[in-house]
Amino acid sequence: MNEQELLAAVDALVTHDGRDAVCGPVGHGEDPVRLPTDESVDFRALSRVLSSRYGQSRNLAMGGYVDPTVTGRTGAPLLAPFGDRVVEMRAWRHAGRWIGCGAVRTDGVVRPVVLVTGQPVRQRPDARGETSRVVPEKWSTGPSEGTTWVDRVVAVTGWTRERGAAVDWAAVESRLGTVLPGDYKELVERFGHGEFDDYLGLLIPDGPPGSLDLIEFNEFWARAAAECGGGPWKPYGLHPAPGGLLQWASTEQQSSFYWLTEDSDPDRWPILVTGDDYGEWDRFDGSTAEFVHRLLTDPRHPRSTARHFDRHWFTSYENLDG
């Protein structure tokens, strides 16, 4: 397969679960699925394209040296077929699977390789009995009456981890100078640092290393806006300007999710979403958890992942190697 054929095959495997989209019997009965790769393929150039589609990669091996911290939860299945023949390997996690692109030494010749784990990546309970990630075989058709939007997000992702450490919300809200939406706070405490459908990541206060801190992130951009006379957010201001934007989530594709803090009741704040050029804004009048649930399940949602996946999950980045 050339580069374009490889990209199409990877997309078929991770997006549509389409083993039949991979030519002939290739991949059947194998895990991970190794795609036939033309020797002319430049795996470094292909890696850049994969990063543009699936986000930042993890380096599993470079210069013939394998990262000793790699585990089954951080990409080791991509290395298993090659043993000490791995020269380089980069990995992306997407739609519950690992994508690998790199080079291996075969008969003294370094050849490019592309492979995809054939089954969703599943997290096993750690020493405390917690599960970092669950990809249900079939997501729920809908919650029962009387459940909250947070309950619905939990149900559709199959999330089973118990509630995490409580956040000192009084201190957080005192520093921000505003009360925050109640269901956002519950989402943070239920899910923690991670991403929904490997796409939407919450900004959380006092999170673990690698997370975007809700307070520091918004304070930084508010200072930047003040220094440059408003910046690309116009005609909106940034909090703490009256009715200003307060960012609560982001994606690796540089979409930004804000509350418009125009109402005295934060549970009534509308949500505004824009891309990296800040040229267009989508508005959603509803709660934060409702927004997340509809993003996951409603293909009509302007930022929908339901158009791409028929099952939904949450990837936790806390204790990833634990």
Ranking 136-145, 254-263, 313-322 by mean pLDDT, the lowest is 136-145
CA 182 – CA 288 distance, rounded (Å): 9
* CA dihedral over 278, 211, 188, 142, signed as positive or negative: positive
Query: Which tokens hold the place of 250?
Result: 């982001």
What is the pLDDT at residue 146?
A: 66
Start-to-end C-alpha separation, the chain: 37
Give the mean pLDDT of 129-156. Answer: 58
pLDDT of 134 strictly over 60: no
CA 139 – CA 309 distance, rounded (Å): 11
Give the mean pLDDT of 11-15. Answer: 80
pLDDT of 28 strictly over 80: no
Please compute Rg for the chain using Cα positions: 21
Helices (H), 125-244: 149-157, 169-176, 182-191, 214-227
| pLDDT tens profile 144-167 | 556 899 999 999 998 987 766 689
- 3-class DSSP state of 284: strand
Q: What share of the chain is helix, strand, coil (3-state, %, to 5)?
A: 30, 20, 50
| pLDDT tens profile 185-215 | 999 999 999 999 989 999 999 888 888 999 9
What is the SS3 assignment for 92-106?
Answer: EEECCEEEEEEEEEE
- φ, ψ for residue 211, nearest 5 deg: -85, 160
What is the pLDDT at residue 16?
A: 55
What is the pLDDT at residue 119?
A: 58
What is the pLDDT at residue 99?
A: 92
